[in-house]
Structure 1
Amino acid sequence: MHFNVQFNNIGSGKDGDLSFLSDLTNATQLQVLIISNNNFGGTLPMSISNLSTKLEVFAADTNQIYGSIPYGVGNLVSLERLHLGNNSFTGNIPSDMGKLSNLGALEIHMNKLSGNIPSSLRNLTKLYHLALLGNYLEGSIPSGLGECHGLQLLYLSDNLLNGTIPKQVFRLSSLSISLDLSNNLFTGSLPSEVGDFQSLSELYLSDNMLSGELPSSLGGCESLEVLHLQGNFFNGSIPLSMSSVRAIRDLDLSRNNFSGEIPHFLEGFRILNNLNLSFNQFWGVVPTGGVFKNASAISVVGNTNLCSPVANLKLPKCKSKQTKKRRLSRSLKLILPLVFGLTLLGIAMLFFSFFLCSSRNRRKEISSSTLGNTILQVSYATLLKATDGFSKANLIGAGSFGSVYKGVLDEDDKAQLVAVKVFNLLRHGASRSFIAECEALRNIRHRNLVKIITMCSSVDFHGNDFKALVYEFMDNGSLEEWLHPPTGTEELRDHVPKKLSLLQRLEIAIGVACALDYLHNYCETPIVHCDLKPSNVLLDNELTGHVSDFGLARFLSQVTSNLSAIQSQISSVGIRGTVGYAAPEYGMGSEVSRNGDVYSFGILLLEMFTGKRPTDNMFSDSLNLHNFVKMALPGRVTEIADTPLFQRGKNENPNQCSVRIQKVEVCLSSIFRVGIACSAESVGDRLKNINDVASELHFIRNTFLG
């Protein structure tokens, strides 16, 4: 017995439309029930669990059905196909679906389902088609899906799934049509098991947070026609083994960190008609054969070190080796005499400097050997004068270990505006914080780090120990003041309303990410900041972000080897950081690491674009800033974003406003995905390298401006 009313316009889109399904529970011979592509609204009645046990097909897709999928659907033990896609179902996927042992096709895509993918789906051993895309599903893919050995199509894209992709999924050799995991929050590398997909036609892993090099086993996917890896953090070169993937027609590796030369074997892929290698770090000469003959079929923009003999690619023209040799020989003729002369001059200046220094009184330096000799001191009297006696009028901030004053420092007849951080040495840990900050700042230089000018380690006029650091003054205060300006009767600094545009916030975030990248990856000894938050990001007159306050900073070599007594003394302070921004693992006794800074940056990023502090009163129990944003993606970005980001421009008509809002929404969605990936509670699910974060934010900015 069949009941089929699909492709009509039945239903009002309201409650009660599906009440007739309860009457069908008396149809004990019912095998096919199809109500797809109508206008049915309301909820699915609980009575569907009492439909005929002989029912093989139930299709209610493409309607306006909402509410939860009734528990008890597992009673329909003969079901072979269940189609509920393109509705507005909410809640979790019922775990008793695992009882449907005869199910071959399960489609619940394009709904509003949340929660985890039930592990009970492992029991659906006859499943060949699983479509859960376009929901709000989270958590990891259950490894038990690897037991569904008949799966040919697996669609999990456009969800909030995270963690690493289980190797068991890549071992599903039955996957022959398509695997789509794109637009999620997956991390980790692409495992070598991907080579088991010898029969797979389409593989979509785009717009996740995957990293590492592509495994050579990828060459085993000989049937692959479509490979989309764009929008991840993959690096390294395209493996030579991919030369065997000759059936490919659509290859997209854009928006990653791939490098090396573009391999010439791509010229031999005869049916390749779409090749996107844009926004990577490829270098050298772009090949000219095969797909490269058709400029409209390829994209290589955003690779600054590429050149091409073909003009239509709009790349710099490649220089011949002969030209380079001539230029080199000519350059050598000019450079060698110059280098020789400069060397002699340098030696002479060195002797003169040595003589001059030995005859001059040395300036007093820091007595403690831990502070080195690169930061010269200034006297207590000088700072007293510079700050007008540390007057309240010049007080611009107060922190855990002291106060910050605005001052004017007269040095060599030049007046310089400065910020003087005076340490409260009565506070436990303040002296150690002073030493840590001196040690961290003395040898580092970056445009997004606050610049230390001088310091004072002396005694005041009452004989008390006095310690202070003098920084370059930042005209626009801290990011905290801009994100959360005073309200009510409180006055704004200089009476200037503090509002940051989306682009200004993004530029500040990029600057902070670049500063952390420098500290983590480019300092001789890697430095972990340990206390990243809006009040520790200072803004200059151009609103460029500068990371400040290194009082809790840790040197990684000292963390791992425990050679420094001072750093081990500081560790009890350093691991605390600030509530809401400190990584969860620090509270469980884990050692300081770069991962902790990545977490703090993720929280900072989410705060910058939602306007909500992680310590806001709305967050309690299981709801925190991370989950608040995560639950809103992808469809409710406008609801959680900071309101000023969507304010209408002065001379903007409704059409322009609509286009701008759509563009802002796309940009914010990308930013929030980065923030979520950085602030994952588990270290294993978190983005590993801040360099990848900086690259992705650069891309988001360029896309927004483009």
Structure 2
Amino acid sequence: MGHSGRKSRVAVHVLAIVLPCVAVSLLFALFLKKRTRKDSRLMHESSKELRIRSYKDLSKMTNNFSSANMIGSGQFGIVYKGSFPEEEGQMFAVKVFKLGRSGASKSFLAECRALRNICHRNLVKVITACSTYDPLGNEFKALVLEYMSNGTLADHLHIKSRYGCLSLGARISIAVDVASVLEYLHMWSVPPMVHCDLKPSNIIFDDDNLACVGDFGLAQFLHGFSSSGGYQNSTSLFGPRGSVVNIPPEYGMGSKISTEGDIYSYGIVLMEMLTGKRPTDELFDDGFTLHKYVEDALPQIGMILDPDLSREIVGDHSSRTESQEQGNKTEVQNCILQLLNLGLLCSEEAPKDRPNIYDVYIEVVAVKEHFLSCCVNKT
């Protein structure tokens, strides 16, 4: 073959290699252009959604922070319901911080930091924040949050005339959802986070009765890993944090916060859900606690169970045979017993004796799956 023939073959080979590369490059460039436009649009929409609202806006949407719009009050803030006119009546919750109270400003900053860094389906979502001055020149700080219309876990457990009774299945699902949040905060948040104030009044239900954890005013990020295998904060606690009845005993003695503290609070919540007894019940006095109340009763659960759950276990099962009914009752009781034992383990006095959140989550998921397969599907 002549010199010109060899040049033609080389040219064909080069084109065979170069043309596909050029085509791929062009397609990739078009993709990047579209992606850039999409990302830009999303960033614009996000900034629009999260734009800072003025004091005037928040006052207008809550009818000048009317007491008729107040839906809750806590240590550091008052929560109002309201709506932005341009949002076609969609409701929001506005948490106004009590800045005259010591620690309220830190609580606002803690919630902003926490809610900026975390995202989970069972967390109350923040819409925007407002830090400004009111018309009188007083400092004003507020958060606009997703409006949760179906009350708190405390409401459902203790105001049954309004909210009805929670079924065992619902309580088990709540236990799983809350454990899922703690697993996310402790294991997947970077850096890990401790909620520090887990209690039924901070577990809130949306329109679909999905349980969400809120109020991160006491939350803290953890920055070091302790030799015992758990994350700990670099500074000690000065005085109790959170609700006195739900905080672990070591916090009251000035210990550093840790993931084990949330585990303790989770155990107390579990036992309150199943017994219907608040840790502050008048029954508990002189060292007799909810933990002791449950511990003394097990493995017999009849005397300590929430009466609504007792009635649910007995139920009306006329379509079943006696042996089927007894078998179902036993399976239900076993699910409750397993959860109460988990509550006891989580609320052990010594932090080293409490399980980690991964093991807790695995166990409550197993209880839920067993309940659904053996108790619900057989009804």
Please report the TM-score for the alignment, with normalisation by the length of structure 1. Answer: 0.45
Which of the numbers 501, 521, 528 marks the counterpart of 2:187? Answer: 521
Structure-2 separation of matches of 1:353 and 1:677: 47
Please state if 1:537 is matched with 2:203. yes
**1:445-475 per-position Cα deviation (integer Å, ceiling 9, x unaligned):** 1011110011111111222111110111111
Query: Displacement of 1:410 after TM fit?
Result: 3.5
Structure 1 CA distance for aligned equivalents of residues 35 and 361 of structure 2: 42
Q: Distance in 1 between matches of 2:24 and 2:237?
A: 51
Counterpart pick for 2:309 among 645, 660, 663? 645
Residues 512-547 of structure 1 show CA distances to partners (whole Å, capped at 9, x for unaligned) of 000010000001110000000000000112221111
Tell me what 2:20 maps to.
Answer: none
State the AA in 2 paired with 1:646: S
Q: CA deviation at 1:693?
A: 0.7
Question: What corresponds to 2:272 in structure 1?
Answer: 607
Over 3 Å counting, the alpha-carbon distance change for 1:657 and 1:435 in structure 2 is same
> Do the aligned partners of 2:237 and 2:254 also contact (CA within 8 Å) in 1?
no
Q: Which has the higher helix share?
A: 2
Contiguous gaps of at least 5 residues in structure 1: 1-336, 365-373, 487-491, 561-566
Question: Secondary structure in 1 aligned to 2:145?
Answer: strand
The corresponding residue for 1:387 is 62
Which residues of 2 match residues 54-133 of structure 1 at below 5 A? none
Q: Size of the alignment, in residue pairs? A: 338
**What is the CA–CA distance in structure 2 between the aligned matches of 1:339 and 1:506, rounded to whole Å?**
53
CA contact (8 A) 2:197 2:242 kept: yes
Any residues of structure 2 matched to 1:385-534 within 5 Å, and which? 385-411=60-86, 413-485=87-159, 496-534=162-200
Q: Return the alpha-carbon distance in structure 1 between the equivalents of residues 218 and 225 of structure 2.
A: 13
- Distance in 2 between the 1:506 and 1:342 partners? 49
Q: Which residue identity does 1:463 align to in structure 2?
A: G
CA displacement 1:5-35 (0-9 Å, x = unmatched)? xxxxxxxxxxxxxxxxxxxxxxxxxxxxxxx
Residue 342 and residue 625 in structure 1: after superposition, are their counterparts in 2 closer, same or farther (change >3 A)?
farther
State percent identity of aligned pairs.
45
Paired with 1:403 and 1:570, the residues of 2 have a C-alpha distance of 28
CA 1:385–1:342 in 2, change beyond 3 Å: closer, same or farther? farther
Q: Which amino acid letter does the alignment assign opposite residue 693 of structure 1?
A: V
User: Could you tell me which residue of structure 1 aligns to residue 376 of structure 2?
Assistant: none
Q: Cα distance 1:524–1:340, how it changes in 2: closer, same or farther (>3 A)?
A: farther
Within the candidate set 545, 555, 570, 2:221 is matched to: 555
Question: Secondary structure at 1:415's aligned position in 2?
Answer: coil
For 1:534 and 1:351, locate their aligned partners in 2 and report how far apart those are by CA, in whole Å. 44
User: CA contact under 8 A between 2:192 and 2:223: conserved in structure 1?
Assistant: yes
CA contact (8 A) 1:559 1:592 kept: no
The secondary structure found in structure 1 opposite 2:257 is coil
Q: State the alpha-carbon separation in 1 of the partners of residues 25 and 204 from structure 2.
A: 42
CA spacing shift, 1:657–1:588, aligned 2, 3 Å: same
1:673 aligned counterpart, secondary structure? helix
SS in 2 for 1:419: strand
Backbone CA RMSD of aligned residues = 2.9
Shift of 1:548: 0.5
Pick the aligned partner of 2:31 from 333, 336, 345: 345
Partner of 2:257: 592
- The two structures have a TM-score, normalised by structure 2, of 0.81
Compared with structure 1, are the counterparts of its residues 340 and 474 closer, same or farther at alpha carbon in structure 2 (3 Å cutoff)? Answer: farther
Query: SS at 2:266's partner residue?
Result: helix
Partner of 1:701: 368
Contact 1:453 1:471 in 2 (8 A): yes
Q: 1:580 to 1:342 in 2, by over 3 A?
A: farther
Are the equivalent residues in 1 in contact too, given 2:236–2:255 (CA < 8 A)? no
**Residue number in structure 1 paired with 2:291:** 626
Q: 1:580 Cα shift?
A: 1.2
Q: Matches of residues 5-16 of structure 1 in structure 2 within 5 Å?
A: none
- The aligned residue for residue 4 of structure 2 is none
Matched, 1:679 2:318: no
Whole-Å Cα distance in 2 between the matches of residues 588 and 629 of structure 1?
A: 25
CA distance in 1, matches of 2:111, 2:336: 35
CA distance in 1 between partners of 2:271 and 2:124 (Å): 23
Deviation at 1:348, TM superposition (A): 6.4
**Shift in Å, 1:571:** 4.7
Query: Which residue type is aligned with residue 619 of structure 1?
Result: F
CA contact (8 A) 1:457 1:468 kept: yes
Corresponding letter in the other structure for 1:345: F
Q: Would you say the 8 A contact 2:110–2:217 is kept in 1?
A: yes
Q: Structure 2 vs 1, CA of residues 452 and 497 (structure 1 numbering), >3 Å: closer, same or farther?
A: closer
| Cα gap change, 1:623 to 1:379, in 2 (>3 Å) | same
Contact 1:599 1:679 in 2 (8 A): yes
Label 1:338 to 1:540 Cα distance change in 2 as closer, same or farther (>3 A). farther
- Once the two structures are superposed, residues 356-378 of structure 1 have per-residue CA deviations (whole angstroms, 9 ceiling, x without a partner) of x9xx9xx89xxxxxxxxx96411
Q: Distance in 1 between matches of 2:328 and 2:25?
A: 55
Deviation at 1:351, TM superposition (A): 8.2
User: What's the offset of the Cα at 1:626?
Assistant: 1.0
State the 4+ residue runs in structure 1 displaced beyond 6 angstroms.
337-340, 351-355, 567-570
Amino acid at match of 2:223: S
1:666 paired to 2:334: yes
Residue deviations 1:584-641, cap 9 Å, x none? 111111100000000000011011101011121111233211121112111x111111
Structure 2: how far apart are the matches of 1:606 and 1:596? 16
Task: Report if the CA contact (8 A) 1:637-1:669 is conserved.
Answer: yes
- The superposition leaves residues 418-456 of structure 1 with CA deviations (integer Å, 9 ceiling, x where unpaired) of 111010111111011000100010121101111001111
